């Protein structure tokens, strides 16, 4: 995989890990104004997860890298994203894919005793377009 520099996110944690992986999926955006994207088409999505925390687990990991990849890759690789319940009411735009990946990863992290946090999800859809999703902290309101 090509070495990539990702936007960094400020956080108060001692440890940060980043995991890169990819999956290939198809999707469509069911709106006329979506142009070509209203038709089924595929992408190889390149993902970077940024996980942070202060405590390591019994193996001295923040979280095992392979666990992070398996949460997403096994679920979405070579599938039509629109077929998943999480995208029934939310078109699988790159923004929505990034937020959904965050939700899946954070739900798994919440079950861990050391309670790491997913602080950033980077999703590259094409060589020239990507989305960064960072969860809003409680109390933050930029509206």
The one catalytic residue in 27, 43, 118, 125 is: 125
The one catalytic residue in 37, 67, 73, 95 is: 37
Encode 123-142: b = buried (16+ Cβ within 10 Å), e = exposed. bbbeeeebbebbeeeeeeee
Name residues whose C-beta falls within 8 Å of residue 90's C-beta, 6 or more positions apart in sequence.
Answer: 96, 100
Q: Is 78 a catalytic residue?
A: yes
Q: How many other CB atoms sit within 10 Å of the CB of residue 45?
A: 24
Q: Which residues pair with 21 in a beta bridge?
A: 47
Tokens coding 72: 């997403």
Q: Is 118 a catalytic residue?
A: no
User: DSSP label at 141?
Assistant: -
The one catalytic residue in 41, 55, 78, 107 is: 78
Q: Is 107 a catalytic residue?
A: no
Asked whether the beta carbons of 117 and 107 are under 8 A apart, the reply is no
Question: What's the residue count for the chain?
Answer: 143
The catalytic residue positions are: 37, 78, 125
């Amino acid at each position: 995989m090509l070495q990539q520099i990702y936007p960094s996110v400020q956080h108060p944690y001692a440890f940060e890990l980043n995991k890169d992986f990819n999956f290939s999926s198809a999707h469509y955006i069911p709106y006329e104004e979506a142009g070509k994207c209203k038709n089924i088409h595929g992408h190889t999505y390149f993902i970077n997860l940024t996980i942070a925390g202060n405590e390591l687990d019994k193996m001295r990991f923040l979280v095992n890298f392979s666990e992070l990849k398996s949460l997403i890759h096994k679920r979405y690789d070579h599938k039509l994203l629109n077929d998943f319940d999480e995208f029934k009411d939310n078109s699988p735009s790159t923004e929505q894919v990034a937020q959904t990946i965050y939700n899946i990863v954070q739900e798994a992290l919440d079950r861990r005793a050391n309670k790491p946090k997913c602080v950033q999800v980077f999703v590259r859809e094409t060589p020239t377009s990507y989305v960064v999703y960072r969860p809003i902290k409680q109390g933050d309101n930029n509206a």
